[in-house]
Amino acid sequence: MACLVQIFYLALIGGLLLFGPALAVIAIKLALATPVKVFLLGICVFYGISPLLLAWGGLSLAKLFHCQASSITFQCPDQPWLGNLITWMTFAHWGALFTIPSGLLGCIGLLLTLSLKANS
């Protein structure tokens, strides 16, 4: 069972790391139109910063619902289930270790394809 968990986590990390470059490869192999490449570039940028947006959103929700931080979790006075959600959201920034490099590589690949198409 432990082996399956390790395989799952390795596949998850691999998927997170290869999402951006996969979008760039799709744009190159299929010779997509410029508006589609710009759309994929926007997806790469959003994918790269999404963990940071989640963390900032979690902190904003904690402030909005008057949640208190206790050790590494948030406690919300009116809705206890909200504390778990906000805790998860505020720790989502660790996902940026995988999504920022992936999004950056995808953006570089898509910008290269856009520049090559503009020059030809």
DSSP labels, 21-55: HHHHHHHHHHT--HHHHHHHHHHHHHHHHHHHHHH
Phi, psi angles (nearest 5°) of residue 74: -105, 140
> Is residue 105 within 8 Å of residue 20, measured between CB atoms?
yes
Q: What is the pLDDT of residues 42-94, one digit of tens each?
A: 999 999 999 999 999 999 988 998 888 888 888 888 888 888 889 898 888 88
Q: What's the pLDDT score for residue 12?
A: 85
Q: What's the pLDDT score for residue 77?
A: 86
Q: What's the pLDDT score for residue 45?
A: 93
What are the boundaries of each domain within the chain?
A: 2-119
Percentage with pLDDT > 70 across the chain = 100
> Is residue 96 within 8 Å of residue 52, measured between CB atoms?
yes
pLDDT band at 120 (very low <50, low <70, confident <90, very high): confident
Residue 27 has pLDDT above 90, yes or no: no
Q: What's the pLDDT score for residue 92?
A: 86
